[in-house]
Structure 1
Amino acid sequence: MYLFHNFKARNDLCSEDKRIFDSYVGPAQEVKKGSHLAREGETLKCLHLIEKGWACRYRMLRDGSEPITSLLLPGDISDNGQGLHARLEFSIKAITPLRFTTIDPAGAERLFERPRILRLFRASGHISHSTALNWIINVSARSAEGRIANLLCECYARSHAAGLTYRGRYFFPLTQTEISDVLGLSSVHVSRSISKIKRKGLIENCDHKQIRIKNWRGLATLGDFRQDDLELSS
Structure 2
Amino acid sequence: MPSRLIRKLEAFVPLTEAEKTLVSDVERNVRTVAPKTDLITEGDSPENVLLIVEGFACRYKITSEGQRQIMAYLVPGDFCDLHIFILKEMDHSISTLSACKVVEIPRKRVLEMLKTPALATALWSATLVDEATLREWLVNIGTREAPQRIGHLLCELLLRLHVVGLVSEGRFELPITQAEIADTMGLSAIHANRSIQVLREADLITLARGHVVILDFKRLAAFSGFNPNYLHLRNQAEAGIGAIPQNAAISF
Share of identical aligned residues, percent? 27
1:228 maps to which residue?
229
Structure 2 runs not aligned, ≥5 long: 236-252
Alignment of 1:137-216 (within 5 A): 137-205=139-207, 210-216=211-217
1:58 to 57, 60, 65: 60
Distance 1:127 1:55 in 2: 17
Distance 1:156 1:19 in 2: 28
- Is 1:180–1:190's contact at 8 Å kept on the other side of the alignment? yes
TM-score scaled by length of structure 2: 0.84
Distance 1:4 1:137 in 2: 32
Residue correspondences, number: 230
Distance 1:102 1:26 in 2: 9
* Between 112-121 and 11-20, the greater mean CA deviation after superposition: 11-20
Alignment of 1:1-234 (within 5 A): 5=4, 7=6, 10=10, 12-81=14-83, 83-86=84-87, 87-205=89-207, 210-233=211-234
CA deviations 1:58-106 (Å, max 9, x no partner) are 012111111001010111111121x111122111100001112221111
SS at match of 1:149: helix
- Is 1:53–1:73's contact at 8 Å kept on the other side of the alignment? yes
What amino acid is aligned across from residue 77 of structure 2 in structure 1? G
- Is 1:46–1:102's contact at 8 Å kept on the other side of the alignment? yes
Report the aligned-residue RMSD: 2.2
What amino acid is aligned across from residue 227 of structure 2 in structure 1? R
TM-score scaled by length of structure 1: 0.90
Distance 1:206 1:226 in 2: 28
CA deviations 1:94-135 (Å, max 9, x no partner) are 000111222111111111111111111111111111110111
* Between 93-102 and 5-14, the greater mean CA deviation after superposition: 5-14
Structure 1 runs not aligned, ≥5 long: none
